[in-house]
């Protein structure tokens, strides 16, 4: 992923999503699927909102890509072609494909640290 200079400055400015001042935060509501500027959600009243990474633009049109990258600010998986954070990462484990969202933090870090090779 080629992050823009503005995006990289944001990643350097904030070391985690919790460091973003409340007035500058945007939130994802997983109940009504809106991106909102305040907590609780003004549409449905949900109070458990996810702080949205400022590098996320929520608009990925790629159905399947063969690799994955990670956001320099929040560390979540992103589409390597457009940078959207709304991706489902799957891995083949003992012959089965599965969503890695349910993996514990250690197993997800192990996946991030894997070295991938291309055989030509």
The domains of the chain are located at: 5-87
Report the distance separating Cα 94 and Cα 91, nearest Å: 10
Query: What pTM did the predictor assign?
Result: 0.69
Q: How confident is the model at residue 45 (pLDDT cuts 50, 70, 90)?
A: very high
Q: Is residue 5 pLDDT above 70, yes or no? A: yes
Q: Tell me, what's the pLDDT at 60?
A: 81
pLDDT in tens, 46-58: 999 999 998 887 7
CA distances from residue 78 to 46, 47, 58, 73, 96 in whole angstroms, order as listed: 25, 25, 10, 11, 22
Three-state SS at 100: helix
* Mean pLDDT score, 32-36: 91
Q: Tell me, what's the pLDDT at 51?
A: 93
Q: How confident is the model at residue 120 (pLDDT cuts 50, 70, 90)?
A: low
Q: How far is CA 43 from the centre of its chain?
A: 23
């Amino acid at each position: 992923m080629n992050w823009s200079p503005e995006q990289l400055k944001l990643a350097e400015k904030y070391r985690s999503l919790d460091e973003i001042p409340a007035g500058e935060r945007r939130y994802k509501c997983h109940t009504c699927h809106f991106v909102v500027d305040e907590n609780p959600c003004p549409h449905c009243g949900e109070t458990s909102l996810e702080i949205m990474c400022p590098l996320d633009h929520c608009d990925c049109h790629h159905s399947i890509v063969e690799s994955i990258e990670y956001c320099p600010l929040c560390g979540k998986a992103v589409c390597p072609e457009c940078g959207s954070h709304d991706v489902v990462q799957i891995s083949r484990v003992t012959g089965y494909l599965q969503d890695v969202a349910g993996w514990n933090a250690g197993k997800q870090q192990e996946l991030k640290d894997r070295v991938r090779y291309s055989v030509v």
